[in-house]
Amino acid sequence: MKCGQSHFRNEGYNENVSGCEGIDSVNITVEKGEIHALVGENGAGKSTLMKVLSGVYPYGSYNGDIFFEGQVCQFKNIKQSEELGIVIIHQELALIPELSIAENIFLGNEQAKNGVINWNQTIREASKLLAKVGLTDEPRKLAMDIGVGKQQLVEIAKALSKRVKLLILDEPTAALNEEDSENLLHLLLEFKQQGMTSIIISHKLNEISYVADNITIIRDGQSIETLSIASGEVTEDRIIKGMVGRDLENRFPPRVPQIGETIFEVKNWNVDDPLHAGRKLIKNANFHLKKGEIVGIAGLMGAGRTELAMSIFGKAYGKNITGQIVKDGKEIKINSIKDAINQGLAM
């Protein structure tokens, strides 16, 4: 990838980092000041490619060239990429809940002189950065006391503190509700007007079509094609065809479920946070499952989906767990993972 006229260019890139998806001859060019989308199925290699660009995977673990602002880059770590203004925000937020917003923004980049942090300057600069991303919260407020949408904006403020030129966002709206997602997309468009370049990875094709100038499709570790939104010919079906390699008559296969009687119930289920006394993770959750049925548990990041499942599976997570589990019409007691397995449950 490249800068100047092109901001970022990757040529003939091959990667086989241990434990990661392989990449084979990926080529992608991002123009200065554009929003470039990267799409593909899970495991296609999108996040791996961006981790190489940002120095998470160091030079030497891949073959190929990365150009930024006309210069070949051989990043050995993330600090080197950030020094050039390349900043990545991962899907899993990297904030420390027990620290303040201001402390999180300047974590590793403290406003200090001779090893002593200047707290007045830290709060003052944090306030300026929060204003840029549209947050009015007090910089001294703890990160754990703001919602996920605001935490995402704090991550962006943190990136701005590093004088970002190329902002990479990996699934930035995956954990956000519709309103927070819309605010974030508008913020990216504002940054574009200010000349910032962004790469966004997302599975939400409607959002991609709304903000992106160009879309590069990755499939099986290869760059398949780059589509220009300005052409007016980019549709969700067109993008999906590139992602899966064929036309889809039906996005979801037809099925005829055979639903029977109720065989599993969870009633008035409550779970406390094991790390923060008095904080409830699950409050009076109720659901039932019928024979032959698939029940989906949906929610935003932090809503308690995983905690609910783990607490049911032998109280593998949480404290002060209360409620009833009914299997085949009879209440059962599951106090350990062994109990759960003996009752025919698996996770």
Q: Is-contact 54 232, C-beta < 8 A?
A: no
Give yes or no: residues 282 and 218 share one domain.
no
In a domain, 35, yes or no: yes
The C-alpha atoms of residue 202 and residue 216 are separated, in whole angstroms, by 11
Give yes or no: residues 77 and 175 share one domain.
yes
List the structure tokens of 126: 């944090």
User: What percent of the chain lies above the pLDDT cut of 70?
Assistant: 93
Give yes or no: residues 95 and 33 share one domain.
yes
Residue 24, pLDDT score:
76
- Of residues 145 and 247, the one with the higher pLDDT is 145
In a domain, 254, yes or no: no
Give yes or no: residues 23 and 124 share one domain.
yes
- Residue 146 CA neighbour count, 13 Å, CB half: 27
Final residue belonging to a domain, choices 244, 274, 294: 244
Give yes or no: residues 72 and 110 share one domain.
yes
User: Among all chains, which residue has been given the structure tokens 């300005």?
Assistant: 230
The pLDDT tens digits of the residues spanning 5-47 come to 345 565 554 544 433 446 777 889 999 999 999 998 888 888 8
Give yes or no: residues 201 and 135 share one domain.
yes
Cα–Cα distance list, 227 to 163, 234, 301 (Å): 29, 7, 31
Mean pLDDT of the residues in the chain: 87
Strands 214-219 and 35-39: parallel
The pLDDT tens digits of the residues spanning 191-226 come to 999 999 999 999 888 899 999 999 999 998 888 999
The pLDDT tens digits of the residues spanning 61-93 come to 888 889 999 899 999 998 999 999 999 888 778
Give yes or no: residues 147 and 29 share one domain.
yes
Residue 289, pLDDT score:
96
Provide the domain limits for residue 176. 6-244
In a domain, 255, yes or no: no
The pLDDT tens digits of the residues spanning 126-136 come to 999 999 888 88
Give yes or no: residues 183 and 289 share one domain.
no
CATH of the domain at 10: 3.40.50.300
Highest mean pLDDT among 172-186, 293-307, 332-346: 332-346
What's the mean pLDDT in 243-252?
Answer: 76
- Neighbouring-strand partners of residue 254: none
